[in-house]
Structures are given as C-alpha cells and as structure tokens.
Structure 1
C-alpha cells in the first residue's frame, strides 16, 4: 500500500516499532480491467485534481503516550507528482504498521485570479514539545496555515525547527471546494488515553457529512487540538464539485474487485442455523402473511415477485417459516451449499472510494447465551427470530483499487478496521492471497474480524458472541449477485425481494412486566430489594417507553441515574457487589448496555453457596437479559426492513 518511507537518522537508532514496517497486502494488487476513471490514479474534483499517495518522509516522532503508550509519528508526503502540492501532513500511532495515505492537489483551471489552490499567507504555531519531558527524537512543532481570504486550510505542517515553514510548503483550497470536518480516531496525546492527555490531542479527520450522495472528500490529514491554550482550529475537507461518478468501477471492474478481496466467512463448529440463498428459502416453504388474514399465508415466488413492494414496518405483512414442523426445522437449519452473497455497490467520500456491502442471509437466528463470570446461562428462546441479515463492507480506493478498510457488523454497532489489522487467506482458485477472513458468531451470525469470545456487556457479564473456524465456510466470491449499483444506471436488475420493505420474520411480543414479576416473587429480603433496584436502573432505551408505562414499579423511572451500586447481603456475609453505570446508546447500538459488573467477590466462594442461592442468582440474571435482549431485538427488527431497501442496503455512514 505504501511504496516508500524515508526515516529520520534518529529513528534508525531506537527500538523497532510496528510503524517502522510498511503494511502491504499479502499479494500484489492486480491490474484492473480498463474503462472509465477507476484505478487511473487521479480524480478531478472540478478544477482540482487530487492524487492519493502513501509515500512518506518521517518528520518527527514521540515514543510514549497515545494508543498502547508507544507514541506517534508525523510524516509529510514524498515523491509528489509534478504539478501537485502538499495539502497537509499525515500522522499515525506507533502501535500498528504504517498504512495510511494523504491527498495531494493540482490546480488545472490555470486562472491566477481564481486558482483552486493558493499558498498560505502565514502560519500559527499550534503546539510544540519543547518544554515537555517526553521520549522524542527531537523537539517537534505543529503549525496551522493561515489561508488567504476565500480559501481554507486542509492540514497542518510539522517541523523540527522553531522557525516558521516556507509559505511554498503547502497549499490551501478555494472555499467552494471545501467542507466541514470532524474528528475521527485518536492518534496521540501525552497520556495513554484521551482523558489523561493534559489538554492536547491529535485526531484523524473525516468529513462531517458522509453518505452515498455526499460530495465530501477525506484528505487523510489530522488535526491537533490544544485545549490548554484554548486554541480552536478549523481544518476543512475537500468537496467533489464534479461528482459525476466517473471514478466508480464498471461491472467488469467490480467483478475483478470481488475476486481479489471477497471475504471468507467462517461459521462456528457448533453452528446449527446456517445461511442459505434467498431463493432456497422461498423454494422451501417460506410463507407471506397478511395482517387480518393470518390463517391464509401465501407461498412466496422464488424471485419474490409476489412480495409487496415498498411499504413500511407497519406489521401489515411479514414472512415466516413453513407451517409443517419437519419443513420448518429443515428451513431453520439453512443450506450452506445454496448460500449466496448479495452485493450493494456504493460511492463513498465523494466517489473517491467504493463501498462493497457484502450481505448474507440466514433463515433463522438462534437463541442467545448469557455469561455471568464463570457461569453460562442459555436464554431459551430469547434471541430467536426468523430472517437474519448480516453484512460486512469493503472500502476500496477509486484511485488505485487498494482495499483500505472493512466494516464488521458486530452486535451493538459495528467496527471499521484498517486493512493492516485484518486476517487474510489464500484460496486455491483465487489469483491473489488478499481475500480477507471474517467470523460469524454462534447462533447470532454477527460479523467479527477475529475468532474467540466477544462479550457484549460489562467485564465478565454479558451476552456471548462466540466465533471460531470450522468446515462451514462461505467463499463469497464463489457465489454472489450484485443486487444494487445505482451508478451503473440499469445494468443491474434488482430482484423483487430487494424492494420488499416489510419484516422478514414475525413479531414476537413479550410482557416484560410479567417476566420481571416472576423473578421478584421468588426473591425475599435484600435479594428482592436488589432486584427492584436493578430493574429501576434499566434505561428507557432498553425497556422501551411503552414497557415503562406497563410496569407499576417503573413509573417513577424518568430521571436518568448516572451511577449506582447495590450491595447484596446474605447470612451477614458480603457475597456480591453490583456496580452499574449509565450507558448512552446510539441509534445503531440498542443492545450495547452495560450490565452490572461483579466486583470484590470470590468465584470459589460464590460456587460454594447453596444450590438454591445459585439458582436464584442465575434466574435473576436470565430474566434481566431477557428484558434487554427482547427489546433490543424488537428495535432491531423494526430497523431491519429499512436496511434491506435499495436505498439503505449497506454499512452505516463512516
């Protein structure tokens, strides 16, 4: 990905760090099929050409603070093509291989009175390491360009000299080609986390407005924020004023990208509910139900042509499994041999990148399992639902076709990961070894980048997401369909089921008040009080507003409690101490709620208690998780139909 890296002389004398290695994909990037502007190296934003470079010269580095307490390194682009100019410096934490990029720009309007790029008129010193006692190669200085009137700065200049940089060092962009930015990933600060960095932090930048129809373009630069000096910086991103999608890949190029990068998805060795194709699901007895006529479900055409088109999540229609028990059981288990990946191709970041959303379908989502420190608690039918769609998204540069990052649809919101942090695998029939590896969680099928246990909750307590390699694996490049690519304008025929905006499974209703009361009636004394306090602490996002109205004990739950602790005393001995803190959920993270964390307790002591006490505690936590999981699934089901529509089939904005 990076072709050249020049180190400072002092960096050669210190201990080798991950960033000293340039990340490269396992196999060389193939030559892409010709056609259009994809992979040409240069994109025209409308009077301004930009080129993406990963060639850097190291300027300054520190070797403590930041992620992993390994410091960060600051670079400027090198080997810049003739006529192009630096728009800003690049920085990255030292705890991972060098894998970034920045854009450099060239004015092609040739009109001095309205040039798209101009030199700054001055510099402002944002920060210096002169007075700091930190591990560093030398003193570092971060400067912010002062743009001329009608222009905006896109990045900083970093030096090892207290003298201002040359005005010819960098260029500012005309304001009509700029847009607002926001901070993204934390790069560095003096502490090992952002809160302990004494007011100064370095972040990567991203456009504030992001989406398939947004013309905003990331420059790849960073912003230094020095709160101690009360300095407010304003660095912009670029905007693609041309935005004609000419840089997007054509269908032949899309197929080449899929063959190069298509994921291998591994399912857990104990997985019962495997994926299938949508056609197999319909052919094997899936039924369409209509509200008010539930006794007369209709078989679904293999193409989905008899499914209602458009609509909303108003419960007027839904899909369910076959009525016959044997057929239902068979369909629930899926059919790995028929499974197919469904691809949605989308422009991102002003069409400088292509997102390839890779969707898989499982007819059934299995039950959840809770973990209470050393105890696993199967939650029965809790977590089960019909029609489970999961996805991951590949983000590919339209400059050169390089895979730079991947989105994994983990439960409770997903994660974007840099390619340097991914696992890749060679496939015998594939011309490259650049096929990334993903892991689907047991029963839930959420996508994760690594095998093992991911606990959805607080330390030691939460919902299990188990992943591992097995013989049950999908090569998404071997069997796939491009179901949507708006920029190809009619070359892709969208299947009718894609525009079915209703639910892919029936709605399961639970009376949470009754479930909570079942547990409460079995408890006495301090345990009963502890449970009541625990339920009162559950946030509205988890319970749902209508549930708060249903449960008499929760009617006074209107003001959010920031933190609380509950002590459970049994036989005058302190066994457990629960600590709960409020977690503010986002629209894409309805299940990401921190359950109580067990502190100051001995597992050995806990396991020595009477069977009755263990059963009570297990049942208490089982029902608490039921409250969380059921309402999370209800919200997830409501959002699912929107995800499956043509306009929404893809990864969250990023």
Structure 2
C-alpha cells in the first residue's frame, strides 16, 4: 500500500515477548508482542511493537514500512530503557523491559521495543521515520499499568475523511505521568488507491452487513425514507404551520443545504389512522442506507449502515423492582440510528463495529461480535428507543438498578441489511454514487413535541408507592435526560461522524 512517500504493509503474526498476568482491565494482565519476522515481507521494517490486555481475544496488527534506501526510514542511534518489571511483585512470565528508540535528527519514533533481558535491543529491531512523513498521535485506550507506569493504544489526533494520519497498531508508554513522544504515520499524498472501487463495494457489503434483530414487542419499526414521504410525511415551515407541504418521494422539494435554524421540520400527518400507520413503520419493505468513507489515511474503509425509523417510542423507567412505562417520555418523530463497519484495507477484513446508542455509541472489536451466516454481525435494536447493542438482554442507562431500560431480544423479527440496502453516498468515488436530494435537507426530521418532562415525572410519581416517591424524585433528574428529549433528529449529513470519526 502506498502512503505517498512510503510503502507500507501489515504484520498480523506475532511472537510473545513478555506477559503480565495481573493488573490492567479485569486484573488479567497484558501481553507484549514483537511482529514476527516470518510474517514480514523482505525489505519491510518494524515501526513499533504491539500490546493488548489479556481480557480480550487476540486481534493484533502492526503496520510495517518498506526500506527503499532513500532515507525515509532509519535505524535508531540508541535506546532508552523507560521501565522494567525487575522490582515489581507481579504475576508475570519472565521480566519485561520497555525501550524508547532514540532517533536520528529529523526522525520520529512510532513505537516501542519490548525485550525480556537487560541487554539493549539491536538497532535492527525497529525503524524511525522521517518527521515530515509523520503526524501527531494521542493515547487512546488503557492496556496495562503498574505503579506509575502505563501503556495505551495510540491513534492519530486528527481523524476524519480528510485527515491522513494512519493507525499503526502500536502502543505508547507513560512513565510518572509523562507520555512518550510517539508519532503516527501520514498519507502524505492523500493517496486513496487502497479504497474499494464501486465494483468492490458490493461484495464487501454483502459479506459484512449486519443482521439487525428487533424486540418481539417492538411497535415502532423501521421503514424507507421514500415510504415515509409517499405515505403522508409532511414538511412544515415556521410561520406557515397551517399549510404543510406533501413531500416528493425523492425529497426534491425539501429545502436544500443551510443550517438547522428551526425554520423547517418534518412531521407525521394529522389524520390519526395515517399517523398510526407511519409510526409503526414498514419492516417488510424496509432497507438501510449505506455511506462509505475513508478513515486513517485511507488504510481503513468505514461502511456506515443508516437505519430510519418514522417514530421513536416511549421509554420505560426501571426503579428497583418496578418497571414504569412512560406515556410519552422519549417519544419523537424521526429516528436515525447507525452501525459502522470498519474494514481493514490491507486485507479486507472486518476490524471493528460501531453501534450507535441514543446520543452516543460504542466500538466493539470484531473478535467480540456474535456472527450470523458466517461474517454478518448480529446487532440488537432496543425496544422503542432503537439503540444498537452487540448482545441481547437488558442494558440500563443509569446505575444501582435505576434508569432507562434498553431491552433487546433475539427474535424472528430481523432485517438482513446486506440484502436490503441502497448505496447512499461515497464521496471519495466522485460522481459514481448520486446522492438523493433528501440527504441535503439539513433541518429536523421531527418537531419539538409539546411534552414536558416535569408532567411525565408527575405521572410516574403517582404510579409509585408513597414510600418510594421520595427516593425516586432524588434520582430522576440524574437519569440521562438527553435520551428523553422529544425532538426529531437532524439530517445524517450534519452529524459530526459523517466526515469525522465516531468517537
């Protein structure tokens, strides 16, 4: 793969150098790996060693660079021993030593070397990279630590479709609160040649697009945007609310561009039967909308699966042993949820999956995903709220048995998104994918409802035994109220993740 001035490949085979068996996430320790010379093609050099916590299945990867003898990469001039486990009373296999390369002037270290002896590593163990071919990186997830020493995964500080920093798979060490000076690679020429072509996208989507399982009691199901428009969805304009406009199937009569200035919004029709029909959606004809974008300097492809619901149902509050169904709390017209498939462009393998959850979300490694039909992730949509999770069961937004219920079950109610989808946008392909007009409608997909959280709170209080009303009042406003806002979402193209990273 070309990063402009540097050719790179990826090592996926590793040799264990040192393992700590305690500390870190779940107190299970961490393992430190050297990219295997057997797996590295001739002429390529290691840029950093790999580490991961022992509470996760192995999913190692490490970017290696080709030494074309033009001076883009050089051996370190020395090493600094940042830390060793000699004096630490920890459960470990051998003794671990963490080294920071000292690079020639004008060069940057992109990772550490790990050994199991006091002897300094050979200069051939790692390479430094010319500074102008690198970019600032930051520490990300904690891997392991012991008494003032910590190691973290790294990622580019600037991330998005236009950002060219490359995720390497290496780690960074922190000693006494001071982070090592570690950089990331950069795609200096913004070379997108590793991104899938239009013809390659279909087999990728077919292979990895998830099965979305809905709760058997889900009343508010997904539909297509076109179905919503054709069956009575209306456009309202501020100051002219008495004259809503019927929307064309492709949304071509919707206001285009601009900002979310509250001048326009979409809503359900006033007729109760038509309104009820739209609220329930149409799973039988539903499909998802796919947005494809480059990430990490085009070394990864993000395939974003967008699902549209005409209506988001009311929440259920859990308070100790009581489950209290709200009348309208959490209801709003229009609901966009998404799953992002992060595909490695070195080998075409699914690396991670992002699951949107109300106003946030979670990354899940592919090794921790349940799969259906070989490569298709099983994703669970919560009842009424439609947040996505990787496992069935109850997820509580709250703590100590108090919060908002997210109930997921594996039922016969599901959608194979790889079979029912439309390729919505792939801007890196130029004009090859034509976006529908509705995607550039930037206002709300639902009105601000005339529902007050205080009124809903009073209704819930009346349903509780008197001795529980005081405790419930003390915790209610600590709940994630943002989830309960009765307001339609903005356009998916205005989301920060459209051009940026998820989190």
TM-score band w.r.t. shorter chain: over 0.9
Give 3-state SS (helix, strand or coil) of 1:143's partner: strand
- Mapped to 1, the partners of 2:257 and 2:315 lie a distance apart of 31
1:69-80 alignment runs, 5 A limit: 69-78=27-36, 79=38, 80=40
1:268 to 193, 196, 215: 215
1:424 to 357, 360, 371: 371
Q: Which residue of 1 aligns with 2:7?
A: 49
Cα 1:650/1:180, change in 2 over 3 Å: closer
The reply to whether residue 489 of structure 1 matches residue 430 of structure 2 is yes
- Identify unmatched segments of 5+ residues in structure 2: none
Q: How many residues align?
A: 500
- Mapped to 2, the partners of 1:310 and 1:342 lie a distance apart of 20
- Compute the displacement of 1:81 (Å): 0.4
Deviations 1:460-516 (A, max 9, x none): 111111111111100001111111101111010101110110110011245567888
- Mapped to 2, the partners of 1:312 and 1:47 lie a distance apart of 39
2:188 to 241, 244, 268: 241
The reply to whether residue 444 of structure 1 matches residue 385 of structure 2 is yes
- Mapped to 1, the partners of 2:443 and 2:98 lie a distance apart of 53
- Identify unmatched segments of 5+ residues in structure 1: 1-42, 191-197, 427-432, 524-609
Q: Which residue of 2 aligns with 1:134?
A: 90
Contact 1:407 1:651 in 2 (8 A): no
Q: Which residue of 2 aligns with 1:526?
A: none
- Mapped to 1, the partners of 2:45 and 2:472 lie a distance apart of 65
Contact 2:340 2:353 in 1 (8 A): yes
- Compute the displacement of 1:273 (Å): 0.4
- Mapped to 2, the partners of 1:405 and 1:487 lie a distance apart of 21
1:365 to 287, 300, 312: 312
2:52 to 85, 92, 99: 92
Cα 1:275/1:622, change in 2 over 3 Å: farther
Contact 1:643 1:650 in 2 (8 A): no
Q: Which residue of 2 aligns with 1:573?
A: none
TM-score (norm 1): 0.73
The reply to whether residue 168 of structure 1 matches residue 124 of structure 2 is yes
Contact 1:379 1:622 in 2 (8 A): no
The reply to whether residue 504 of structure 1 matches residue 451 of structure 2 is no
- Compute the displacement of 1:183 (Å): 1.0
Cα 1:481/1:621, change in 2 over 3 Å: farther
Q: Which residue of 1 aligns with 2:266?
A: 319
Q: Which residue of 1 aligns with 2:353?
A: 406
- Mapped to 1, the partners of 2:354 and 2:172 lie a distance apart of 24
Q: Which residue of 1 aligns with 2:16?
A: 58
Give 3-state SS (helix, strand or coil) of 2:273's partner: helix
- Mapped to 1, the partners of 2:111 and 2:415 lie a distance apart of 42
Q: Which residue of 1 aligns with 2:63?
A: 103
Contact 2:159 2:500 in 1 (8 A): no
- Mapped to 2, the partners of 1:282 and 1:636 lie a distance apart of 19
Contact 1:498 1:645 in 2 (8 A): no
1:392 to 319, 327, 339: 339
Deviations 1:16-66 (A, max 9, x none): xxxxxxxxxxxxxxxxxxxxxxxxxxx111221110111101111111111
Cα 1:58/1:50, change in 2 over 3 Å: same
Deviations 1:431-484 (A, max 9, x none): xx1011100010011111111111101221111111111111000011111111
Contact 2:329 2:486 in 1 (8 A): no
Deviations 1:276-298 (A, max 9, x none): 11111111111111111111111
TM-score (norm 2): 0.94
1:152 to 93, 108, 111: 108
- Mapped to 1, the partners of 2:494 and 2:320 lie a distance apart of 40
Deviations 1:54-109 (A, max 9, x none): 1101111111111122211111111210100011100111122211200010133x
1:82 to 32, 39, 42: 42
- Compute the displacement of 1:648 (Å): 5.2
**Greater share of residues in strand:** 2
Give 3-state SS (helix, strand or coil) of 2:8's partner: strand
The reply to whether residue 292 of structure 1 matches residue 239 of structure 2 is yes
Cα 1:333/1:57, change in 2 over 3 Å: same
- Mapped to 2, the partners of 1:309 and 1:410 lie a distance apart of 28
Contact 2:3 2:190 in 1 (8 A): yes
Give 3-state SS (helix, strand or coil) of 1:506's partner: coil
Give 3-state SS (helix, strand or coil) of 2:79's partner: strand
**Greater share of residues in helix:** 1
Cα 1:128/1:612, change in 2 over 3 Å: closer
1:246-265 alignment runs, 5 A limit: 246-265=193-212
Contact 1:500 1:645 in 2 (8 A): no
- Compute the displacement of 1:643 (Å): 3.2
Deviations 1:523-557 (A, max 9, x none): 9xxxxxxxxxxxxxxxxxxxxxxxxxxxxxxxxxx
Contact 2:159 2:501 in 1 (8 A): no
Cα 1:619/1:500, change in 2 over 3 Å: same
2:151 to 202, 207, 210: 202
Q: Which residue of 2 aligns with 1:430?
A: none
Moved more, 302-311 or 408-417: 408-417
RMSD of Structure 2 on Structure 1 (CA) = 2.3
1:475-554 alignment runs, 5 A limit: 475-510=416-451
Deviations 1:564-623 (A, max 9, x none): xxxxxxxxxxxxxxxxxxxxxxxxxxxxxxxxxxxxxxxxxxxxxx94334x34873796
- Compute the displacement of 1:225 (Å): 1.1
Cα 1:277/1:238, change in 2 over 3 Å: same
Contact 1:393 1:651 in 2 (8 A): no
- Compute the displacement of 1:231 (Å): 4.6
Give 3-state SS (helix, strand or coil) of 1:180's partner: strand
Deviations 1:185-217 (A, max 9, x none): 111123xxxxxxx21111111111111110000
- Mapped to 2, the partners of 1:329 and 1:652 lie a distance apart of 36
Contact 2:424 2:435 in 1 (8 A): yes
Cα 1:646/1:143, change in 2 over 3 Å: closer
**Higher RCO, Cα 8 Å, sep 6+:** 2
The reply to whether residue 184 of structure 1 matches residue 140 of structure 2 is yes
1:28-43 alignment runs, 5 A limit: 43=1
Give 3-state SS (helix, strand or coil) of 2:207's partner: helix
